[in-house]
A and B are shown apart, each in its own frame.
Chain A
């Protein structure tokens, strides 16, 4: 069974903390994505990566960075967490060989910044 695994289901952090959200996929996919989801705003793309050590900004990259040192792992970093980063974070992966292939999502990490 193919899987995208996010390291935490729920996370509570303090304002100003550095936060790491980890995502691992076991499908040897080239593409990996980080989204955040907020009520009324839908899923918004933060960053994505087409290959190891490559990253591209999505629609809302401010306040975030990413790391992709290995193909299977894509990390989202909040350098200094703020309350407006309280959200559901979703990781996804897909095969880059064609558009005729679906993306697989993790279960999400619900982050609360207090």
Chain B
């Protein structure tokens, strides 16, 4: 299973773009990169995922490097409600998400 490395914590000003990096240098060719977040005392919430191409949905954008060794989650206009722990997780053919420690993102007014 691929391992990931994420910053322990980050701050971002409200209204600005939040860019969360993730290193997954051991990811294999068929593993998707998934991003989830967990707001305090709630279950994790799916944000976005991708394999090779950059992806965008109503919540965020995902930029994956060409060599697939790292990715960046972008929240374009962060709000206070985006304060959460963000997890970058490779998903392989066993359909099991292996969770790391994630990045604690704090949005400041």
Residues of B within 8 A of A43 (CB): 44, 97, 99
Contact residues of B: prevailing secondary structure = loop
Residues of A within 8 A of B31 (CB): 99
Contact residues of A: prevailing secondary structure = strand
Contact yes or no, A102 B96, CB < 8 A? no
Q: Is A15 an interface residue (CB 8 A)?
A: no
Q: Is A104 an interface residue (CB 8 A)?
A: yes
**Nearest chain B CB to A96 CB, angstrom units:** 6
Interface residues of B in 19-58 (CB under 8 A from A): 30-32, 34, 41-46, 49, 51
Contact yes or no, B42 A104, CB < 8 A? no
* Binary flags per residue of B84-109, CB closer than 8 Å to A gives 1, else 0: 00000001110111111110000000
Known: A42-B101, A42-B102, A44-B99. 16 other contacts (CB 8 A): A33-B96, A42-B100, A43-B44, A43-B99, A45-B96, A48-B96, A58-B96, A90-B43, A92-B43, A96-B95, A99-B92, A100-B32, A100-B51, A102-B34, A103-B97, A108-B41
* Residues of B participating in the A interface, judged by any CB pair closer than 8 Å: 30-32, 34, 41-46, 49, 51, 91-93, 95-102
* 23 residue pairs bridging A and B, Cβ less than 8 Å apart: A31-B95, A35-B99, A42-B101, A42-B102, A43-B44, A43-B97, A43-B99, A45-B98, A48-B96, A50-B95, A90-B43, A90-B44, A92-B43, A96-B95, A99-B30, A99-B91, A100-B32, A100-B49, A102-B34, A102-B49, A104-B46, A105-B45, A108-B42
